């Protein structure tokens, strides 16, 4: 039910570790940072003191090493663990291990992580809560191919076959006709077994031109749940988000209120705690639930900027047992915000580009925020995700926010390595994107159609 604590071990790295550290300090909590050998060696000033050594460079031996993280908490006197995002943030076994060690896990209970981490169980729970779902049975696909074909025929082609334990854009395949079913099932089942350790699949209607819209929720330990705005994350490449904005443009307020209320009710029914995100496909004025992320999202800053809420501080408060005051979270956005994910990667080939950063200049000024862990001299490691910074802007209108981001990007310089900054500049010069409401296929379509160096 939550308990007071004064120190938090941050079981993560990079910009999110810095973000959580700042929230802890502002609440008067003692943050405990950890780092792998690669991250300690990559620091701009490695001769100074710093995070506690957690293990070798490989994630499996450092940031995914549950025993090492729990030992670090014990030796440093940390009373709570914040998992950030990625790594162990949605690992139900880790959440249980943290609490079994007498610590507070700053996240949902393991039971909720398990339900929402299983796409089939999650769909059942959402249907029970009245959350609209993509057409398709909330059951695993049968083994017999002919039975799978029958289900596809009932749904209507095209359909999409997905891994029940999948995520991150992996373990899914679109099927457009009956003849493709057998191969699609066999390939996806094996991919699911290899990637997620379980071969179960499920099937849904494949929507041709949807947008990706998500709702932010926040829940306490006392049965209170609120939704805190919505975001559009449709600018994607290979199912990976590139640009996010809040609020999602073109969504009727009464529709948003109805869907947000359903999300909050679903949280109450599964006993959720902390922050979470309901992800939907949105097409022709209808929402279709696809999954829930039981953690803080990379794109949480755009909601913070438009809702006037520090979501990380709220995570920490509810973990300590605070009661949510629903009146503080009206779901109404103030102004408009964008976030650009700046990655260390070639902007044309998208191949990761690790190396040492020789110079950095980030934009400053009203309505501009940069979340990052890098500075001149920092070495970007090949062992981890290529995200090195998030450039966030906020302005009174979407049009103003587009212009503000265009200027902010033009003033951002990262030298010594390749980054995707040129791609972001092309996105914010794209007339279709500037008008708003592009679908999830838009960026990849532009990248295929335009000559190299344009979008």
Tokens 């025929």 identify what position?
A: 153
Alpha-carbon gap, residue 291 to 289, rounded angstroms:
6
Angle between helices 119-128 and 110-117 (to 10 degrees): 100
Structure tokens at 381: 């490691």
H or E stretch covering 37:
helix 37-42
Residue 236: strand, helix, or coil: strand
Q: At what angle do helices 181-196 and 145-155 cross, to 10 degrees?
A: 100
Place of tokens 């995570």: 315
Cβ-Cβ contacts under 8 Å for 60 (sequence gap 6 or more) = none
Q: ω into residue 158 within 30 of 0, thus cis?
A: yes
Q: Are 241 and 214 in contact (CB under 8 A)?
A: no
Catalytic residues, by residue number, are: 295
Residue with tokens 């009146």: 327
Q: Give percent helix, percent strand, percent coil of the chain, each to the nearest 5.
A: 35, 25, 40
Q: What is the DSSP string of 179-229?
A: GGHHHHHHHHHHHHHHHHS---EEEEEPPSS-EEEEEEEEE-TTS-EEEEE
Taking alpha carbons only, the member of 106, 98, 110, 91 closest to residue 73 is: 98
Cβ pair 101, 95 in contact under 8 A: no
Place of tokens 């981890």: 384
User: Cα(182)–Cα(175) distance, rounded to whole angstroms?
Assistant: 10
The conformational region for residue 171 under phi > 0 = left, psi -120 to 50 = alpha, else beta, is left
Residues 99 and 91: their CA atoms lie apart, in Å, by: 13
For residue 326, the tally of other CB atoms under 10 A from its CB is: 11
Residues 360-386 as b/e (b if ≥16 CB within 10 A, e otherwise) read bebbeeebbbbbbbbeebbbbbebbbb
């Amino acid at each position: 039910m939550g308990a007071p604590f004064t120190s938090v071990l941050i079981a993560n790295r990079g910009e999110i570790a810095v973000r959580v550290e700042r929230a802890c300090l502002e609440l008067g909590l003692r943050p405990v940072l950890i780092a792998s050998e690669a991250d300690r060696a990559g620091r701009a000033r490695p001769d100074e003191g710093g995070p506690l050594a957690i293990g070798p460079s490989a994630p499996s031996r450092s940031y995914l090493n549950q025993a090492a993280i729990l030992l670090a908490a014990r030796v440093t006197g940390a009373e709570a663990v914040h998992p950030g995002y990625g790594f162990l943030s949605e690992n139900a076994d880790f959440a249980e291990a943290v609490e079994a060690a007498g610590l507070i896990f700053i996240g949902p209970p393991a039971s909720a992580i398990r339900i929402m981490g299983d796409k089939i169980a999650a769909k059942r729970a959402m249907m029970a809560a009245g959350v609209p779902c993509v057409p398709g049975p909330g059951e695993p696909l049968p083994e017999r191919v002919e039975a799978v074909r029958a289900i596809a025929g009932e749904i209507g082609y095209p359909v999409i076959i997905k891994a029940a334990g999948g995520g991150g854009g992996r373990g899914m395949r679109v099927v457009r006709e009956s003849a493709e079913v057998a191969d699609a099932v066999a390939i996806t089942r094996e991919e699911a077994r290899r990637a997620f350790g379980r071969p179960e699949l499920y099937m849904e209607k494949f929507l041709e031109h949807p947008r990706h819209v998500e709702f932010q929720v926040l829940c306490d330990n006392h049965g209170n749940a609120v939704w805190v705005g919505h975001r559009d994350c449709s600018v994607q490449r290979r199912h990976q988000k590139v640009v996010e904005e809040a609020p999602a443009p073109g969504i009727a307020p009464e529709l948003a209120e109805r869907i947000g209320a359903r999300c909050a009710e679903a949280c109450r029914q599964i006993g959720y705690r902390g922050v979470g995100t309901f992800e939907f496909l949105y097409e022709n004025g209808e929402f279709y639930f696809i999954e829930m992320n039981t953690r803080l999202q990379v794109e949480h800053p755009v909601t913070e900027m438009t809702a006037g809420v520090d979501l990380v501080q709220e995570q920490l408060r509810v973990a300590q047992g605070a009661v949510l005051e629903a009146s503080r979270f009206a779901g109404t956005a103030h102004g408009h915000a964008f976030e650009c994910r700046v990655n260390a990667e070639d902007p044309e080939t998208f191949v990761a580009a690790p190396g040492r950063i020789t110079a950095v200049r980030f934009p400053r000024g009203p309505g501009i925020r940069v979340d990052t862990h890098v500075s001149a001299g920092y070495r970007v490691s090949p062992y981890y995700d290529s995200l090195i910074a998030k450039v966030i802007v906020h302005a009174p209108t979407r049009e103003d926010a587009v212009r503000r981001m265009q200027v902010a990007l033009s003033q951002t310089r990262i030298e010594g390595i390749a980054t995707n900054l040129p791609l972001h500049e092309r996105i914010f010069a794209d007339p279709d994107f500037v008008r708003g409401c592009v679908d999830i296929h838009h960026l990849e379509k532009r990248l295929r159609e335009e000559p190299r160096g344009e979008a």
